[in-house]
A = this chain, B = another copy of it.
Amino acid sequence: MLKSVNQSTLPHFLCSKCDFTHFCASKETCAEHGKRHLTVSNRTTRLKPNEVFQLQKTKPQTLYAIQHGAVKTYQLEADGREIIRGFFFTGEAFGYEAIYHGYYPFTVVALSDTVICELAYEDVLRVTHTNIDMQKQLLSLTSQQLTMGSYLRSSTAEQRITGFLIDLKKRLSLNEVKSDIQLPMSRQDIGNYLKLTAETISRICSRLQRKKIIAIDRKRIKFLQVDLLEKIAAGLMLA
């Protein structure tokens, strides 16, 4: 099986600059293969909130890893609205689509102070080609992208929002056990992502708060009853 890696090591690559271990099949091989082969382009970019990240338009041969911070990727709809394709946080990487497309079919904007690190395909491929475990690992990562955002397929607004919150909780509290998170994005962004309006996000969140399932203070969300949240997301109950 390709899933030979410990789940807890997944959220990180390892390069000389960052703390990513995504390309390591295990912690043991990290120091060896990561350090030795994955000498990634030293380029890092610092972004302020709302700043647009300039992607390689001409020769898209890099994956982008988020060293610290958060970004959203989006396309513009014909009517000018944003279609948000995804959010990416500390320790995550984006740009897989360009492997096939040959270009990045989206714009990237920072949601907070963010540092982005470039992983040249050449370097990545060199590592993965030398080491078959690394190759499996890269495939696994790309495959993982396929499973992201399954809650987007839920039918009701309640299911999509609760699914989104659960996903966010997992991704924003890496290795930590926290019962609350700080939303990096606006209600409007969430709405554009989940195909709902900002008003609907507000209303449903207020309802979840009235039912004591979560507590909201602006962008801070406390999870009071995760079990109920999961049942709602799964369509097993209504709030």
Q: A residues within 8 Å of B by Cβ?
A: 1-3, 59-61, 77-79, 83, 96-102, 105, 121, 125, 128-129, 132, 135-136, 138-147, 152-153, 155, 195, 234-236
With A135-B125, A153-B83, A236-B78 already in contact, the answer to whether A2 and B59 are too (CB < 8 A) is: no
Q: Besides the contacts A129-B132, A146-B146, what 17 more A-B pairs have beta carbons closer than 8 Å?
A: A1-B61, A1-B102, A2-B99, A2-B100, A3-B100, A3-B101, A78-B234, A78-B235, A96-B143, A100-B141, A100-B146, A101-B143, A125-B136, A139-B139, A139-B142, A145-B146, A155-B195
- Measured in the bound complex, the distance between the Cα atoms of B236 and A135 in whole Å is 42
> Which of B77, B99, B236 is close to A139, meaning CB atoms less than 8 Å apart?
B99
B contact residues around A77 at 8 Å (CB): 235
19 pairs of residues in contact across A and B, judged by CB atoms under 8 Å: A1-B59, A1-B102, A2-B100, A2-B102, A78-B236, A79-B235, A96-B146, A97-B147, A98-B143, A99-B140, A100-B140, A100-B141, A100-B144, A100-B146, A125-B132, A129-B129, A139-B139, A146-B146, A152-B153
- Measured in the bound complex, the distance between the Cα atoms of B132 and A195 in whole Å is 40
B contact residues around A101 at 8 Å (CB): 3, 143, 147
CB distance from A63 to the nearest CB of B (A): 11
- Measured in the bound complex, the distance between the Cα atoms of B125 and A78 in whole Å is 41
> Which of B96, B128, B143, B195 is close to A99, meaning CB atoms less than 8 Å apart?
B143
The main secondary structure of chain A at its interface with chain B is: helix
> Which of B61, B136, B140, B142 is close to A143, meaning CB atoms less than 8 Å apart?
B142
CB distance from A133 to the nearest CB of B (A): 10
Asked whether, in the complex, the Cβ of B3 is within 8 Å of the Cβ of A102, the reply is yes
Asked whether, in the complex, the Cβ of A105 is within 8 Å of the Cβ of B147, the reply is yes
With A99-B143, A139-B142, A142-B143 already in contact, the answer to whether A2 and B78 are too (CB < 8 A) is: no
B contact residues around A2 at 8 Å (CB): 99-100, 102, 121
Asked whether, in the complex, the Cβ of A143 is within 8 Å of the Cβ of B78, the reply is no
CB distance from A172 to the nearest CB of B (A): 21
CB distance from A132 to the nearest CB of B (A): 6
Asked whether, in the complex, the Cβ of A60 is within 8 Å of the Cβ of B128, the reply is no
Residue on B nearest A231 in the bound complex, by CB: B78
CB distance from A166 to the nearest CB of B (A): 15
B contact residues around A83 at 8 Å (CB): 153
